[in-house]
Amino acid sequence: MGVFLLLTPEIKRMYRLFVLLFSSLLTLAAAARPRLARRINIRRNPDLERGLTHSLVSRISILASDFRLLSYLCATRFHPFALILEICIDNLASARAAAAGGADRLELTSALEAGGLTPGPGLLAAVQESVDLPIMMMVRPRSGDFCYDADEIRMMEREIRWARDQGVAGVVFGALKPDGTIDEAATRHLIEVARPLQVTFHRAFDVCRNPRKSLDVLMALGVERVLTSGQSVSAGQGIPMLRDLVKQAGDALIILAGSGVNTRNIHHIVRETGVRECHGSASELVPSPMRFQRPGVSMGAVDGGGKFRRQTDPEVVRALKQAMLEAGAGDPIH
């Protein structure tokens, strides 16, 4: 057991794949061979037979998801020159647009106008059925600060367990203490719950007290990725800090540059900082199909009067990816 705990998440995932495959083969053999089936009383027990079939289908589904994720990990985690474009989306149309434009990964969330909250089961299922991209699911129980009480941590734990069962590639969360330091106890616990999924610590990092010390803490905790603007309003303005964080992180974790990343600055960000992953919505305002508008009535602080909504544009995604590739083709300017 001690040796198993020291293994990397990728090795643990391969071990889990082996166990699932072996158990699935045993289940299939039990269903196919009458003698073995009689021994476990399947032929005279329809309920058990249905349960066996359901178990087999469930295992096959998990295996398919794990093999897709393992292929993704091999293409990114073990390839130092991979350039990854992650598109954050909060609706199905944007997910399809991101895939059409050539995105490498999705961050699935709800309420992007509030910074992103945990998405619902209907949206996750629809996206999984519609696109074949790795999904990092946001786990954030409310808007506002990132200081969570015990009840909220339990909510996040339940959401992570649910996300893991749905076959997502990873989860995105962050937790701070009132003094602005990383909530190590909560973060460690949530990482343990999430395994063997990947973990991204989100932009709570951008409001922490000491970014360099906090990065050391997150590396020690085993986080795979930190989403950050370099503690600035946008990644473009946070280039000096992003560059320092990339150097500090080395190969221990990935710095994911996000906030305000667009076609005008992504080339400069990649070249100047050395980041290999960028994050953005690649979205445009699109008119609402509503022909009738009730004047003076809004549904929240960030509503836009219901006249417009944001949606990912596949052409913007395509342009972002191309700019990343061009920036990564040469040596950084610095």
Q: Is residue 334 part of a domain?
A: no
Parts of the chain with a pLDDT under 70: 1-81, 300-306, 329-334
Residue-level pLDDT at 37 = 41
Together in a domain, 20 and 86 = no
114 and 13 in a common domain: no
Per the domain annotation, does 278 fall within a domain?
Answer: yes
Do both 282 and 312 map to the same domain? yes
User: For 88, phi and psi rounded to 5 degrees?
Assistant: -90, 130
SS3 for the chain, per residue? CHHHHHCCHHHHHHHHHHHHHHHHHHHHHHHHCHHHHHHCCCCCCHHHHHHHHHHHHHHHHHHHHHHHHHHHHHHHCCCCCCCEEEEEECCHHHHHHHHHHCCCEEEECECHHHCCECCCHHHHHHHHHHCCCCEEEECCCCCCCCCCCHHHHHHHHHHHHHHHHCCCCEEEECCECCCCCECHHHHHHHHHHHCCCEEEECHHHHHCCCHHHHHHHHHHHCCCEEEECCCCCCCCCCHHHHHHHHHHHCCCCEEEEECCCCCCCHHHHHHHHCCCEEEECCEEEEECCCCCCCCCCCCCCCCHHHCEEEEECHHHHHHHHHHHHHHHCCCCCC
25, 51, 72 — which closes off a domain?
A: 72
* 115 and 19 together in one domain: no
**Which residues constitute the domain of residue 175?**
80-328
User: Which of the listed residues 41, 72, 103 is the one where a domain comes to its end?
Assistant: 72
pLDDT of residue 28: 52
- Domain boundary pick from 72, 95, 123: 72
Residue 333 domain-assigned (yes or no): no
Instruction: Indicate which CATH number applies to the domain containing 320.
Output: 3.20.20.380
Does residue 199 sit in the same domain as residue 260? yes
Q: What is the pLDDT of residue 267?
A: 97
pTM higher than 0.85? no
My answer on whether 143 and 221 are in the same domain is yes
Distance separating alpha carbons of residues 256 and 226, to the nearest angstrom:
6
Same domain, 274 and 296: yes
Q: Are residues 122 and 202 in the same domain?
A: yes
In a domain, 121, yes or no: yes
Give how many domains the chain has, as a whole number.
2
Closest CA to 65 of 135, 112, 4, 5: 135
Q: What confidence tens digit (pLDDT) does each residue in 13-46 have?
A: 565 556 556 555 554 554 444 444 444 444 445 5
Residue 222 within a domain: yes
Residue 258 lies in a domain: yes
Q: In this structure, are 168 and 280 located in the same domain? A: yes
* Residue 110 shares a structural domain with residue 31: no
Q: Looking at the structure, tell me whether residues 32 and 122 fall in a common domain.
A: no
| Residue 285 included in any domain | yes
> What is the reported pLDDT for 317?
98
- Within this chain, do residues 45 and 89 fall inside the same structural domain, yes or no? no
In a domain, 27, yes or no: yes
Task: Produce one character per residue of 178-216: b if its CB has 16 or more CB atoms within 10 Å, e if not.
Answer: eeeebbeebbebbbebbebbbbbbbbbbbebeebeebbe
Q: What pLDDT score does 35 carry? A: 43
- Max Cα separation, the chain? 73
Question: Which residue, 76, 94, 93, is CA-closest to 85?
Answer: 76
Nearest Cα neighbor of 97 from 313, 322, 321 is 313
